[in-house]
Amino acid sequence: MGVATVTSTTGEAGANTVKGAGPAQLEVRGVTKAFPGCLANDDISFRIEPGEIHALLGENGAGKSTLVKIIYGVLQADEGELIWEGKPVTIASPHDAREMGIGLVFQHFSLFETMTVLENIALAMNDVRDMDALRKQVLEVEKTYGLPLDPDRHVYTLSVGERQRIEIVRCLLQNPKLLILDEPTSVLTPQEVEKLFETLRRLADEGCAILYISHKLHEVKALCQKATVLRGGKVVGGCDPREETAKSMAEMMIGQKLTAPDRGEARQFGDVRLAVSNLSLESDEQFGTDLKGINLEVRGGEIMGVAGVAGNGQNELFRALAGETEQEAAPDSIKIDGKAVAHFGPRRRRRLGATFVPEERNGHGAVPDMSLSENGFLTAFRRMALSARGLIREVPTKSFADNIIKTFDVRTTGSGAEAGSLSGGNLQKFIVGREILQDPGVLVISQPTWGVDAGAASAIHQALLDLAAKGTAVLVISQDLDEIYAICDSVVVMAEGKMSKPRPMADVSIEEIGLLMGGLHDLEGQENPAHDTQVEGGRLGQA
Amino acid sequence: MEWIVPFILTVITASTPLLLAATGELVTEKSGVLNLGVEGMMLVGAIAGFAVTASSGSAILGILAAIVAGTLMSLIFAFLTLTLMANQVATGLALTIFGVGFSALVGSGFVGFAIDPLPALSIPGISAIPILGPILFGQDFLVYLSIAAVIGVGWFLAKSRAGLVLKAVGDSHHSAHAIGYSVIKIRYLATMFGGAMAGLGGAYLSLSYTPMWAENMTAGRGWIALALVVFATWRPGRLVAGAYMFGLISVMQLHAQGAGIHVPSQFMSMLPYLATVIVLVIISSDRAKIRLNAPACIGQAFRAAQ
């Protein structure tokens, strides 16, 4: 059945090539790339016209990243050719690609942590430039496109959103003719996304072709004029996103019907399971955000969202809740099921039934060089009884990992695969699955679906809803407001290390959240008296 | 006070081999390669320099030979760890053991030979100025070279684009690869520079410090050079301070004995190593500094990802 679809759609892609008037900016013809054990790209063809914003859609592992690497010269195709402005070209290295005018914003940032923003930008420039002249250019581009960045900050002190700005500025400085963006908006606020889109539209008007890879299909719909859909390394179709719905495109990507997360019966909230009271904490990082008087309560069965622009204290909050920062705060400023835990490390908090999923998968959520079953063991050995008398129980450990892989549909060669070999979305499914299957009383999860495709994201959302239905208190730290609206019962907003009062989801508009994200000072005073009753009312209404 | 000039002169001679070898290792480590074979490379450099000088009568040829020998040693290391991806720690240790044995084998015929030490700079009039003259203008050229090298490396790392690329490779080899830099090639070059400088450090020992050959004559200086790089938190300026501090301590032990101070000689010879341990502990407590200057990828093999 799959074969039939492929032949018909290759024909379709072929037909596309006749349409353009002049030569395409880039035409990909029959590109094939095999890795040991998998055919990552199988006879891929499509073309991008100058000034066109072209979406590349596909699930994790569909071959998008491989294709991007081939276009950017990081990898060489086994077969097929690339036609640039009408001429066949060989792109032997990223240097060649930049020379031709191809810019790439990486999904997993290609940044150097201990270097400054300016140094990072200089490294990706082909021509050697005077640092002072470069600084001026950087500031100019930042101003023109509204991407504020301090050129002298060290990257390791920056939030994910700020890091992405570096990559974008880096590309814009080279006046690209083709700009490739891999998941660019996953860490931006709605306002930032709108700004980015303005930038991209302006670039397109200036004649720059844009290849846009995203899982956020309504963004694709708003921005792109054409889309090529990949599945399993093959082109399975093309469409005009403006004439499709997000749902129809998602279904084209995953090749089956998509179901919206089922929120189930209105849930009864139980007792408070995670309580934070008056938590103030200096950040342990030089340019971090200090937490200032954080208060929140999450009840059993409740999913609370923490919204906010990256770098407003969310990382510090996560580390404080997970017990990763050494605490000087009063022990009872954080309580899990009524027990004061602020002076506990992560292991003792886990013993009380709390589990944590950090934002960064490789290196924080998982050890990249270890196998999946070893990674499963690392956080679950106590709750899942994977260890006995100080030894690893091999069989249950492997079957726990196998269970995660099966339940959460993790695409991998098996539980022996290294965590680092999985694509971002698949590893995320594994890590989320590992914590959820431990049946926690409290789950704190940061950016649950960052860089994860629609199919996987909806699976993760469903799993979180199911978990809450079983009485778990779930705290979701996310910059994705759609996500917060899709699954959360209530929301708090972080800005500059402070947190707004919780609001029931049903009562709060996206504009209000946007205002809160901008800073709490204006709204703080006037809200206090009326607020608690409002929240109660909202909750009663839902219950 | 007449002892002060000779004292400072011996401090300089004791510090120079450390500074030469450590400067090379600093560059190697900044690229993300940990070469523990410094001691071995220094020994091979020492015997190569001595043997060629003794046979040809030309110190210049001897010094060139030491550079070549040190570089060849580092190439063995680079081939094993960068091309064949052997473990860097184990390979570095093996390189040291190999260097000890190999230099002893080659050097067995040269034990007891005598050569003229490297000539010191002599500027008529200026070199004769009391105190400053002999200290600033009366050294052999390797001393000036060691200072010039560390300044050059400092400038290279801080100001030049190539230096920035080198640090980038050491900080995140995957990012560097993704942007399009050749990680392996850059690491080869950095490792070879480290080998050349270690060879030079060895040659200083056998041609100037003690113009003779003795088995295992580096006596652990390669290890101190390695510790110095960490001590300096990978910053060239501190490297000079560190090298001279260790030079001072090791000379102090001799002078203390000479002055009849009654401290067990074993305690005094232990001092440089004790200082290394203490300083490393102090340095490690400042995490931010380590974080900023330490090459994050140090010791890790690089395999180009798919």
Residue pair B20/B221 in contact (Cβ under 8 Å)? The answer is no
Ramachandran class of B17: left when φ > 0, alpha when ψ lies in -120 to 50, beta otherwise:
alpha
Contacts A93 to B, Cβ<8 Å: 180
- Chain B residues with at least one Cβ partner in A under 8 Å: 161, 164-165, 167-168, 171-172, 174-181, 288, 291-294, 296, 306
Distance CA A93, CA A481 (A): 38
Q: How far is A280 from chain B (nearest CA, A)?
A: 22
Distance CA B170, CA A488 (A): 43
Q: Which of B161, B176, B180 sits opposite A128 (nearest CB)?
A: B161
Contacts B296 to A, Cβ<8 Å: 113-114
Q: Which of B175, B291, B294 sits opposite A110 (nearest CB)?
A: B175
Q: How far is A165 from chain B (nearest CA, A)?
A: 16
Distance CA A414, CA A406 (A): 10
ipTM of this predicted structure: 0.78
pLDDT, residue A4, reads 37
For residue A121, the number of C-alpha atoms closer than 13 Å in the C-beta half-sphere is 34
* B179–A123 CB contact, under 8 Å: yes
pLDDT, residue B125, reads 72
Q: How far is B235 from chain A (nearest CA, A)?
A: 14
Residue pair A102/A93 in contact (Cβ under 8 Å)? The answer is no
The residue extents of the domains of chain B are 4-219
* B175–A109 CB contact, under 8 Å: yes
Contacts A115 to B, Cβ<8 Å: 164, 167-168, 171
Contacts B172 to A, Cβ<8 Å: 110-113
* B175–A95 CB contact, under 8 Å: no
Contacts A95 to B, Cβ<8 Å: 180
* A123–B180 CB contact, under 8 Å: no
Average confidence score pLDDT of chain B:
89
- Chain A residues with at least one Cβ partner in B under 8 Å: 35, 40, 66, 73-75, 93-95, 97-98, 106, 109-115, 119, 122-124, 128, 154, 156, 286
**Residue A148 backbone phi and psi in degrees, to 5:** -65, 135
Residue ranges of alpha helices (H) inside B182-235 are 183-204, 221-231
* B179–A114 CB contact, under 8 Å: no
Average pLDDT over residues B205-234: 90
Contacts A110 to B, Cβ<8 Å: 172, 174-175, 178-179
**DSSP for B126-194?**
GGGSTTHHHHHHSSBHHHHHHHHHHHHHHHHHHH-HHHHHHHHHHH-HHHHHHHT--HHHHHHHHHHHH
**DSSP for A73-142?**
TSS--SEEEEEETTEEE---SHHHHHHHTEEEE-SS----TTSBHHHHHHHT-SS---HHHHHHHHHHHH
Q: What is the pLDDT along chain A (543 residues), one digit of tens a residue?
A: 333 333 333 333 333 334 445 788 999 999 999 887 778 899 999 999 999 999 998 877 788 888 998 999 888 999 999 999 999 999 998 888 988 999 988 766 678 888 899 999 988 887 766 888 889 888 888 887 777 888 899 888 777 677 878 888 888 888 889 999 987 776 666 667 787 888 889 889 989 999 998 777 878 888 999 999 988 888 988 889 888 887 788 888 877 776 667 777 677 888 999 999 988 888 776 667 888 889 999 999 999 999 987 778 888 899 999 988 866 667 888 999 999 888 888 888 998 999 999 988 877 888 988 999 999 999 888 888 888 888 889 899 999 999 999 988 888 888 888 888 887 778 889 999 999 999 999 999 998 887 677 778 888 999 999 999 999 999 999 987 888 988 999 999 998 888 999 999 888 887 788 778 776 544 444 444 333 333 333 333 333
Would you state the structure tokens that stand for residue B285, as one six-digit string? Answer: 């407590």
The CATH class that applies to domain A266-353+440-543 reads alpha beta
Same fold, A2-101+175-254 and A266-353+440-543: yes
Is B122 or A430 the better-scoring residue by pLDDT? A430
pTM for the model: 0.72
pLDDT bin (cut points 50, 70, 90) of residue B1 is low
Would you state the structure tokens that stand for residue A55, as one six-digit string? Answer: 């979406």
Contacts A124 to B, Cβ<8 Å: 179
Contacts B302 to A, Cβ<8 Å: none
Q: Which of A74, A134, A369, A418 to mutate to test the interface with B (most CBs of B within 10 A)?
A: A74
End-to-end CA distance of chain A: 47
Q: How far is A78 from chain B (nearest CA, A)?
A: 13
CATH architecture assigned to A2-101+175-254: 3-Layer(aba) Sandwich (3.40)
Strand partners for A103: A179
A324-333 burial code (b ≥16 CB/10 A, e <16)? bbebebeeeb
Residue pair B296/B170 in contact (Cβ under 8 Å)? The answer is yes
Contacts B298 to A, Cβ<8 Å: none
- H/E element, A161: helix A160-172
- Least Cα distance to A274 among A321, A316, A317, A319 occurs for A321
Residue of B nearest to A113 (CA): B171
